[in-house]
Structures are given as structure tokens and as C-alpha cells.
Amino acid sequence: MLEMNSLFERRGTRSPSAQALPRQSWQKGPHAPVLWPNEVHVWRARLDGPLSKSFELSLSEDDRERAARFKFEGDRHRFMMARACLRIILGRYLKASAAGLKFDLGAFGKPSLAPPENALDLRFNLSHSHQLALIAITRGREVGVDVEFMRADFANDEVAEHFFSPAEVKQLGRTPDAVYQSLSRIHRALRGCVERQLVRLENRVKGGVS
């Protein structure tokens, strides 16, 4: 099932922290979504369901060739499900055939819709982990989204001391009962910073700025 959440930007106000945001509710994704310029749509999709006929038909030949390179069936299935969900969702906004959508790759490998087919100037980002995918959609500006499966048996003091600064390790030590959650938050924040820098660099490359 494809579910959607909508987030609006209030112009002239500072972005609230994650803790201050109201609890969001997921609803079944519309078949004809309308996206305003100051809005972000976030879609959620399960990747462990069967690949239905409609999902399979939404894949391009390139998608199938990329899927065939995966060694393990589980990884292949999740890739095909995520790719089909992305195509179906974008096709709903553009009222276009999902299988016929064309993508370009940016300077750092980030995919984008090819201009002739992207009349709404849609920008998107797909993230998937384990059996869940998130897809963020905006108009006219870049967007990022991240999801990560939390393994309770992963984090320990050695991991923290190896990958994080002394100040970050000290902060983790104050919350021994939630070490993994803290590690995950720091990891996602650091990865988000890196991704934002890559987007800025790509925009500078496109603009011809050295």
C-alpha cells in the first residue's frame, strides 16, 4: 500500500525542531495528488509485499537490467518494489505512464526527472531500508529524506568511540539506555549534512561556479 503525508512550509517562520513537530498521520496515497510550491509530500511504501502485475509493468527495461545484477533475490525484490513505487507515484503527479518516465543523473549520481517530461518541475528523493521506503516530492527545489532500520544489537561503546568525536561520545554516555537511538540520530544528522553539501556542490557545478 502507498501512503502519503503532507508537510507545509510556513513562510517567514523558523523551522521547528523534530521534537516540536506535531505527530503526523499517514493516509492512503491519492491517485491524482496535487502538490503546491510550498508543500512537501512524503510517501511511505512497504517493500516486502508481492510484486503485482501493475507494479511489474511500471518498470522500464533499464530497471529490469539493474535488478538482474543483484545477487540475492531479497535485494532484487526490494529494488524492484522501490523503483516501481517511485515510478507509479511520479506518474500520478504528471499524469503520465510510469514505465515511460525518463531519468537523468546529476554530477554526483542523484537521479532526476528528464526535463521534457517534468512539466511540474518535480524534485524527489528515495530512501529505503529493510522493508520500508520513503519518497519525498517537492516542486522547484531539492529535497531529501532518510529512513534507517534500527538494529538493537548493533551499537556499543567501541562503535561510538571509533566513529564519533569525543564530545559526541560524552553525550552518548549520558543516555546509556538509549545508546542506539542516539547513535542513529547522530548518524542520520551527519549523513544529512553530507547530502546537503553534495546538493550544493552539484548546483554550483550546474551553474558553472568553481
161-202 pLDDT per residue, tens: 766 778 877 776 666 555 556 566 666 666 666 666 666 666
Overall number of domains in the chain? 2
In-domain check, residue 150: no
pTM beyond 0.85: the answer is: no
The mean pLDDT of the chain is: 79
Find, among 38, 40, 58, 41, the residue nearest to 3 by Cα: 41
Domain interval for residue 194: 157-206
Q: Which residue has the higher pLDDT, 115 or 33?
A: 33
Q: Are 24 and 51 in contact (CB under 8 A)?
A: no
Q: Is 131 in the same domain as 181?
A: no
Single out the residue in 139, 165, 187 at which a domain terminates: 139
CATH code, domain carrying 111: 3.90.470.20
Pick from 139, 172, 188: which residue ends a domain? 139
Q: 135 and 166 share a domain?
A: no
Residues 182, 190, 108, 208, CA torsion sign: positive
